[in-house]
Amino acid sequence: MAAAVALVVSVLALSAMAKAGSPIVQYIFGDSLTEVGNNNYLASLAKANYPWYGIDYPSGITGRFTNGRTIGDILCNVHDLTT
């Protein structure tokens, strides 16, 4: 019962903050559908700095091991947030 009350209070507090103009932050934890990896700052032979790892982006190479957007990118676009 206490957990349910805490959940309701948290949801109400977060919705009030969102309406007040506070910045919205999304923390998305997941598997390979949301985490595409980035090892540009590590000494490694496997890098994502090749043209095909950014073919679907106007700016080109993204440094991420994917050629397209993830579900996190799509959710941020829906909510007008930056990734």
What are the catalytic residues? Answer: 32
Which residues lie below 8 Å from residue 64, measured CB to CB, with a gap of 6+? 36, 37, 38, 48, 53, 54
- Tell me the three state secondary structure of residue 61: coil
Which residues lie below 8 Å from residue 10, measured CB to CB, with a gap of 6+? none
